[in-house]
Amino acid sequence: MDIYERIIADHQTQRDLTASILNTEGNSEERQQLWKEFQPEAIAHANAEEQTFYAALIEDPDTQEQARHSISEHKEADDLIEEISEMDMSSSGWLQTFKKLKEDLDHHMEEEEKEVFGKARKIIDEDQAQQLAEAFNNRKDAELKEA
Ligand SMILES: [Fe+2]
Ligand SMILES: [Fe+2]
């Protein structure tokens, strides 16, 4: 498995979790459980990406700007996740803010898969792409343990 396949696998998890959350109601057990699962998953994914994949992209002048852009979107998503965590789950504002987060994340993941990966493939060779997947797994495990 290379870094691209590894990231796509996580994106699928995030798409599944956020779609499931949209189908929940109010302050239900189900919504609480899914949010509790989604939150550390999304944060650990973004941090592991930054520490492995984007760390490689930011070193190359051809991909530096793209890396910075993606990292700034991670920060925006982090802020929204924190905001949602502090909201009352039964309020209509909770679902509205969550929908905004889901839209942002869908856009972000699509951009990574359709634009960033193409740029990355020009500067990362297949050996490095395999190594980055291993590093990603290690970082993500460590992040999840800290959470
Ligand atoms: Fe990302
Ligand atoms: Fe991602």
Q: What is the total count of domains within the chain?
A: 1
CA of 97 from ligand 2 middle (Å) equals: 20
Tell me the pLDDT band of 147, cut-offs 50, 70 and 90.
confident
Please report where in the chains the tokens 């057990």 appear, as a residue.
Answer: 29
Q: CB–CB of 67/57 below 8 Å? A: yes
- CATH code of the domain covering residue 87: 1.20.120.520
pLDDT at 118: 98
CA of 53 from ligand 2 middle (Å) equals: 10
Ligand number with the minimum distance to the CA of 7:
2
Which amino acid would we find at residue 75?
Answer: K
Asked if residue 56 has pLDDT above 90, the reply is yes
Q: What is the pLDDT of residues 66-101, one digit of tens each?
A: 999 999 999 999 999 999 999 999 998 999 999 999
Q: What is the pLDDT of residues 7-45, one digit of tens each?
A: 999 999 999 999 999 999 999 999 999 999 999 999 999
pLDDT at 55: 98
pLDDT at 138: 98
Ligand number with the minimum distance to the CA of 69:
1
CA of 49 from ligand 2 middle (Å) equals: 7
87 contact partners, CB below 8 Å, separation of at least 6: 93, 94, 97
Ligand number with the minimum distance to the CA of 73:
1
With 0.85 as the threshold, say if the pTM is over it. yes
Region of 112 (left: φ > 0; alpha: ψ -120 to 50; beta: rest) is: alpha
Q: CB–CB of 106/15 below 8 Å? A: yes
CA of 37 from ligand 1 middle (Å) equals: 18
Q: What is the mean pLDDT of the chain?
A: 97
pLDDT at 63: 97
Interval 113-135 mean pLDDT = 98
CA of 59 from ligand 2 middle (Å) equals: 19
Q: What span, in angstroms and rounded, lies between the C-alpha atoms of 82 and 41? A: 14
How far are the Cα atoms of 8, 9, 25, 63, 68 from residue 80, in angstroms, in the given order?
22, 23, 20, 26, 19
DSSP code string of 3-69 = HHHHHHHHHHHHHHHHHHHHT--TT-HHHHHHHHHHHHHHHHHHHHHHHTHHHHHHTSTTTHHHHHH
Domain that holds residue 129: 3-146
Packed helices 126-146 and 29-51: angle between N→C axes, nearest 10 degrees: 130
Interval 115-134 mean pLDDT = 98
